[in-house]
């Protein structure tokens, strides 16, 4: 009550959690966020599997350039079929107009989080991870897709075998076709 202007903070609750997108995907929890939007763990009701749903921010869904970029990511990523590249299941538009991409849910952790925790990795482990990255990029390059955002936070180490990786986020990929 001293006259100091108070700062208004945004509501931390995520309005999508608990909602059903496009009548098919129940949003369970947010598992990541990026420049274009958020990534959620969701349940696909038609087949009962858990998926990752990348939902574009509403403001970007209304932006033609951002929407085009997002749809390009979906199209490009769906063409790559390789064990070290995340699988795209579907894409669509939610009732509120937000674009989404339903993908394989990869349980694990990013390479960046591992490196923050342990620092350097032993050379044999680095070689194994590097070979998988090369395999993923080669599969994309054979289709004329250039990832352009290769970094540790876009590489997931799979829980079931910690040295298996999945390449994520083709959001700024280019197609040279």
Question: Which is more confidently placed, 135 or 148?
Answer: 135
Judge whether residue 128 has pLDDT over 90.
Answer: yes
Please confirm, yes or no, whether 163 is among the known catalytic residues. Answer: no
Judge whether residue 141 has pLDDT over 80.
Answer: yes
Q: Cα–Cα distance between 112 and 110 in angstroms, integer?
A: 5
Q: Which two tokens stand for residue 95?
A: 């009732």
Judge whether residue 32 has pLDDT over 90.
Answer: no
Confidence of residue 170 (pLDDT cuts 50, 70, 90): low
Residue 6, CA atoms < 13 Å, CB-side half-sphere: 5
DSSP string, 106-140: --EEEHHHHHHHH-S--HHHHHHHHHHHHHHHHHH
> Which pLDDT does position 12 carry in this prediction?
65
**Mean pLDDT, residues 87-111 taken together:** 89
Catalytic residue among 149, 159, 163, 169: 149
The verdict on pTM exceeding 0.85 is: no
Residue pLDDT, tens place only, 41-90 = 999 999 999 999 989 887 777 888 878 877 877 787 788 889 999 998 98
Q: Which helix (H) or strand (E) holds 6?
A: none
């Amino acid at each position: 009550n001293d006259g100091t202007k108070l700062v208004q903070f945004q509501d931390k609750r995520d309005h999508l959690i608990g909602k059903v997108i496009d009548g098919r995907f129940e949003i369970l929890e947010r598992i990541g966020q990026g420049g274009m939007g958020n990534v959620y763990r969701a349940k696909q009701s038609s087949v009962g599997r858990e998926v990752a749903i990348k939902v574009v921010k509403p403001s970007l869904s209304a932006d033609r350039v951002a929407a085009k970029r997002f749809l390009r990511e979906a199209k490009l990523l769906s063409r790559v079929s390789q064990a070290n590249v995340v699988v795209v299941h579907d894409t669509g538009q939610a009732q509120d107009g937000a674009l989404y991409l339903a993908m394989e849910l990869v349980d694990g952790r990013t390479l960046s989080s591992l490196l923050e925790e342990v620092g350097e990795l032993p050379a044999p482990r680095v070689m194994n991870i590097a070979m998988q990255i090369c395999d993923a990029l080669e599969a994309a390059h054979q289709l004329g897709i250039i990832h352009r955002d290769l970094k540790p936070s876009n590489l997931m180490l799979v829980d079931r075998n910690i040295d298996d990786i999945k390449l994520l986020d083709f959001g700024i990929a280019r197609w040279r076709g």
